[in-house]
Amino acid sequence: MSAVTADGGGFGLDHLPYGVLTTADDGERRVGVRYGDRVLDLASAFPDGGWRAPSLNGFLARGRAAWDSVRAEVRVLLAGGGGEEHLLPLEAVTLHLPFEPRDYVDFYASEQHASNVGRIFRPDAEPLLPNWKHLPVGYHGRAGTVVVSGTGIVRPSGQRKNPSDPAPVFGPTGRLDLEAELGFVVGVGTALGERVPAEAFADHVFGVVGLNDWSARDVQGWEYVPLGPFLGKSFATTVSAWVTPLAALEAAWTDLPGQDPTPLPYLAPGRTRGLAIDVEVEIDGHVVSRPPYASMYWSPAQMLAHLTVNGASLTPGDLFASGTISGRERDQLGSLLELTWGWREPVRVGDGERIALEDGDEVVLRYSAPGTGGGRITLGEVAGRVLPARP
Ligand code: CA
């Protein structure tokens, strides 16, 4: 029996994130809870709980009272030293995409990131466009290409044209990038026409995942005007295998830096609480950046209020992401576009350097946050290796 240390390596009793697993001798997907370096198989520990399911979506739809009572049951079982026969070593399970995203929206909520991109692409203009401080800018991504951590990322091909090129060309992207983000997983849906006010955030959002919004910058740069990101983004978005419930993040809420001008009333000015989640961006085992989520401009509750203010409905498993997290400092930038300042200054990676991601590179995003027990919890990592383009 492997003992769980006081903080369980960030996966102790104060965390207990959810995932979906199979094992070599049981290929049917079921829900599990991570505890230390093991996984509690809920289908085996609570056989009548409906935990044999392809994803968390059914559980997500049940709402906060059910989320809280299941969490309490699991904590009581594990805190009492029970459940030994239902705990599987992490290396004995295969983890799958934990929820089925029906919709996926990506925001652009970091003032530093949006300003940096503005300065890089439009050096002679105001870095932020006029709407940016009045609404959380976002776009709809491709829910069907959200993949679980560990999935290989085939270098996408596409059409691109540098300003100096006489005509567009087609081929593998030469500017593959990462974007370190935080994703929010919706549990309780809404009816078409209904709004979710910022105050109702915790009634609808179940928890968070780490998220890498892989980006083909050369494809993006040619296609994005006037309707926004498309094929430069839609080839893959990686999320962590573990969904951390909001209940585990109660000690992580913090005030965001502040908003000026005051947003419209539906964006709940003054209710700008964010999460003190620290991110690490690693390429081939070397940390290249440490973006702080607490530096974001728009709060998650404001993003949800904005996403639904026109009556767009939510469904269980909906995913919305923060946008690239970039802090003020040079070592807090959440993309290679910014770290290289528009591909001009290579980033040191161990003994080598990078302008953009190369075939074989493994990107790992790591996340940690204050736990309710006084220590820190470690959110699920987001890993992906770049595979060569298809011929
Ligand atoms: Ca993004």
Is 90 exceeded by the pLDDT of residue 338?
yes
> How close is the Cα of 221 to the center of ligand 1, in Å?
14
Indicate if the pLDDT at residue 357 is higher than 60.
yes
Closest CA to 234 of 158, 303, 164: 158
5 confidence band (pLDDT: 50, 70, 90): low
Identify the structural domains of the chain with CATH numbers, from first to last. 18-96 (2.30.30.230), 104-387 (3.90.850.10)
Distance 374 CA to ligand 1 centre (A): 32
CA of residue 34 to ligand 1 center, whole Å:
28
- C-alpha 229 to ligand 1 mean position (Å): 9
Q: Indicate whether 3 pLDDT > 50.
A: no
CB 36 within 8 A of CB 4: yes
Q: Check whether 2 has a pLDDT greater than 60.
A: no
Q: Residue 96 catalytic? A: no
When pLDDT is averaged across residues 128-133 and rounded to a whole number, the result is: 97
Q: What is the pLDDT of residue 103?
A: 98
Each residue's pLDDT tens digit, 155-164: 999 999 988 8
Structure tokens at 110: 């970091």
Return d(Cα 60, Cα 76) in angstroms, integer. 21
Ligand 1 centroid to Cα of residue 145, in Å, is 14
What band does 355 get if pLDDT is binned at 50, 70 and 90?
A: very high
CA 281 to ligand 1 center in whole angstroms: 15
CA 322–ligand 1 middle distance (angstroms): 7
User: Parallel, antiparallel, or unpaired for β 352-354 and 138-140?
Assistant: unpaired
Instruction: Give the residue ranges of DSSP H helices in 34-141.
Output: 42-45, 57-61, 64-79, 111-121
Residue appearing with tokens 């709980």: 49
At 119, the amino acid letter reads R
Q: Write 250-256 long-range contacts (CB < 8 A, 24+).
A: 250/372, 251/369, 251/370, 251/371, 251/372, 252/276, 252/277, 252/369, 252/370, 254/294, 256/294, 256/295, 256/296, 256/297, 256/298, 256/299
| pLDDT, the chain, mean | 96
pLDDT in tens, 290-315: 999 999 999 999 999 999 999 999 99
Q: Cα–Cα distance between 128 and 260 in angstroms, integer?
A: 13
Active site residue: 15, 86, 96, 113, which one? 113
Residue 7 predicted with pLDDT over 80: no
User: How far does residue 213's CA lie from ligand 1's centre (Å)?
Assistant: 5
Does the pTM of the predicted model rise above 0.95? Answer: yes
235-258 pLDDT, tens per residue? 999 999 999 999 999 999 999 999
